[in-house]
């Protein structure tokens, strides 16, 4: 048995942008954290610099190799390329099973010791995740093993992505009321609107946004909704009566709507911290909403055969046991339940029940944060795991 684990010093992440922003959003956070907090040399191979640039404006387009925030960013154009063992990092992460270049895998198989090859999977609260986390899988031809690494909500998973200083940054931001007002003012939120329920809205195009807007308009309490450009385009256009460009705004009934620009990733965090309720989607904004310690509603990425319904229920079961209104609202928002509440009156009831519970859910969100912190953070758990595999591989050679 080894007394020490061998610390990996270099790491590469291969990220393919399948659709949307989440893949690069997650890989970019992970890359930065590994570099800044673990002192690892990180290279990020990314196939879509344009999408990357939307969340990180420092990124240059049409550049083969650039350094951003200390991370080497390489444009991953194709599967070609000849690699030698010196090119191979100690840890190789393929995000979400993306197919890394065969030349790179061939060189990995020649390294001594082998790099730790990890397939970083998607987040799910389903029970089977614990059983699959860190499972090895041998390459069909080459003498190299890949390990499945699952983020998750329990100590028997990889945990959630979270930078070490995040809680402190959030607390400082939220405790500065003038700072929060100034942050939101840049998106057109007036001092009077600061007293309303402030809601950020990020969802997939099939979300029932028009129904929600109608319920908000007719509700008693004023609501200020902040929606980034390109989100819920049709319902937002219908509400505004004009193109949903950044700066566009309109009030109807109790609802004031502001269209924001698509903001850089750190500002998106601040937006979540500044609002009273956040509608989020996919994986990364979903996790960041949890770290915002504010009530949130998750729009889950749709999958074939409604597999996402199972995932949604699994999460709601572990998260919202105390608030039935949140579960009912979330299921309807995701189209899981329709029968009893498909009319507008049903929406208003769902919303008013949920809204009444928002203060209680806000209190519970701090307990959830504490519970999640006990699992450690994904980047640290990943480094620890890779270190143990690498140590074992090195010892076997001695
Ligand atoms: O963009 P998404 O829908 O990504 C999804 C999920 O990751 C899903 O698991 C994946 O399979 C699918 O894409 C293909 O939602 P997500 O995960 O919340 O990622 C959005 C990212 O965009 C996140 O990092 C936050 C960032 N963002 C900004 O930086 N600025 C903004 O204004 C907004 C609205 C988001």
Ligand 1 atom 16: residue of nearest CA:
22
Q: What is the pLDDT of residue 2?
A: 45
CB neighbours of 370 closer than 8 A, spacing ≥ 6?
none
pLDDT tens sequence across 40-62: 999 999 999 999 999 999 999 98
Considering Cα of 219, then 224, then 226, then 227, what sign does the dihedral take? positive
As a whole number, the mean pLDDT across the chain is: 94
Q: Which domains does the chain have, with CATH numbers?
A: 10-160+376-390 (3.40.50), 166-373 (3.40.50.2000)
pLDDT higher than threshold 60 for residue 258: yes
Beta strand pairing status for 249-252 and 255-260?
antiparallel
282 Cβ inside 6 Å of ligand 1: yes
Q: Which of 98, 259, 280, 283 to mutate to test the pocket of ligand 1 (most atoms within 8 A of CB)?
A: 283
Ligand 1 atom 30: residue of nearest CA:
263
Judged on CB neighbours under 10 Å (0-12, 13-18, 19+), 177 is: exposed
Distance, in Å, from the CA atom of 21 to the CA atom of 215, rounded to the nearest integer, reads: 29
* pLDDT tier, 279 (very low <50, low <70, confident <90, very high otherwise): very high
Structure tokens at 296: 């949130």
Distance 25 CA to ligand 1 centre (A): 6
Q: What is the pLDDT of residue 5?
A: 64
Q: Which of 94, 283, 357, 364 is catalytic?
A: 283
Judged on CB neighbours under 10 Å (0-12, 13-18, 19+), 369 is: middle
Distance, in Å, from the CA atom of 33 to the CA atom of 36, rounded to the nearest integer, reads: 5
8 Cβ inside 6 Å of ligand 1: no
- Burial 237-263, CB ≥16 within 10 A → b, else e: eebbeeebeeebeeeeebbbbbbbeeb
Q: What is the pLDDT of residue 342?
A: 55
Could you identify the atom of ligand 1 that is nearest to the CA of residue 54?
29
Distances in whole angstroms, Cα of residue 376 to Cα of each of 6, 51, 289, 329, 353: 20, 30, 18, 30, 34
Mark whether 283 is an active-site residue: yes
Query: 79-83, 260-264, 341-345: which has the highest mean pLDDT?
Result: 260-264
55 Cβ inside 6 Å of ligand 1: yes
Distance 283 CA to ligand 1 centre (A): 7
Report the Cα 353 to chain-centroid distance in Å: 27
Average confidence (pLDDT) over 294-317: 95
269 Cβ inside 6 Å of ligand 1: no
Distances in whole angstroms, Cα of residue 261 to Cα of each of 55, 66, 227, 230, 258: 11, 26, 9, 9, 10
151 Cβ inside 6 Å of ligand 1: no
Percentage of the residues of the chain whose pLDDT score is greater than 90 = 89
pLDDT tens sequence across 71-96: 999 999 999 989 999 999 999 999 99
Q: What is the pLDDT of residue 397?
A: 61
Distance, in Å, from the CA atom of 198 to the CA atom of 226, rounded to the nearest integer, reads: 8
Distance 281 CA to ligand 1 centre (A): 7
Distance, in Å, from the CA atom of 153 to the CA atom of 106, rounded to the nearest integer, reads: 35
CB neighbours of 276 closer than 8 A, spacing ≥ 6?
197, 198, 199, 294, 295, 358, 362
* pLDDT tier, 378 (very low <50, low <70, confident <90, very high otherwise): very high
20 Cβ inside 6 Å of ligand 1: yes
Distance 397 CA to ligand 1 centre (A): 42
Considering Cα of 32, then 36, then 37, then 41, what sign does the dihedral take? positive
Q: What is the pLDDT of residue 339?
A: 55
Mark whether 94 is an active-site residue: no
């Amino acid at each position: 048995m080894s007394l020490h684990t061998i610390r990996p010093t270099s790491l590469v992440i291969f990220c393919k942008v399948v659709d949307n922003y989440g893949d690069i959003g997650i890989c970019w956070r992970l890359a930065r954290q590994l570099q800044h907090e673990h002192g690892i040399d990180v290279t990020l191979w990314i196939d879509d610099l344009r999408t990357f640039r939307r969340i990180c404006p420092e990124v240059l387009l049409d550049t083969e190799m650039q350094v951003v925030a200390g991370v080497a960013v390489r444009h991953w154009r194709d599967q070609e390329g000849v690699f030698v063992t010196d090119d191979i990092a100690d840890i190789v992460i393929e995000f979400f099973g993306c197919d890394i270049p065969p030349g790179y895998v061939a060189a990995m198989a020649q390294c001594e010791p082998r790099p730790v090859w990890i397939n970083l999977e998607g987040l799910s609260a389903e029970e089977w995740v614990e059983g699959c986390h860190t499972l090895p899988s041998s390459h069909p031809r080459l003498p190299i093993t890949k390990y499945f690494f699952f983020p998750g909500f329990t100590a028997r998973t990889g945990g959630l992505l979270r930078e070490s200083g995040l809680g402190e940054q959030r607390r400082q931001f939220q405790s500065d009321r003038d700072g929060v007002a100034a942050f939101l003012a840049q998106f057109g939120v007036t001092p009077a609107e600061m007293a309303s329920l402030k809601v950020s809205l990020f969802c997939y195009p099939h979300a029932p946004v028009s129904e929600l807007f109608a319920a908000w308009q007719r509700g008693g309490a004023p609501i200020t909704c902040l929606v980034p450009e390109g989100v819920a385009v049709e319902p937002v256009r219908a509400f505004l009566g004009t193109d949903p460009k950044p700066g566009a705004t309109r009030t109807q009934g109790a609802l004031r709507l502001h269209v924001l620009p698509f903001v850089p990733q750190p500002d998106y965090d601040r937006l979540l911290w500044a609002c009273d309720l956040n509608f989020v989607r996919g994986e990364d904004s979903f996790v960041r909403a949890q770290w915002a310690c504010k009530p949130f509603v998750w729009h889950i990425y749709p999958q074939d055969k409604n597999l996402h319904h199972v995932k949604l229920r699994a999460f709601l079961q572990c998260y919202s046991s105390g608030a039935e209104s949140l579960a009912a609202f979330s299921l309807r928002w995701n189209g899981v339940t329709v029968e009893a509440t498909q009319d507008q009156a049903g929406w208003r009831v769902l919303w008013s029940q949920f809204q009444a519970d928002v203060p209680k859910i806000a209190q519970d969100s701090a307990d959830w944060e504490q519970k999640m912190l006990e699992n450690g953070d994904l980047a640290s758990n990943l480094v620890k795991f890779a270190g143990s595999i690498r140590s074992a591989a090195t010892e076997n050679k001695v």
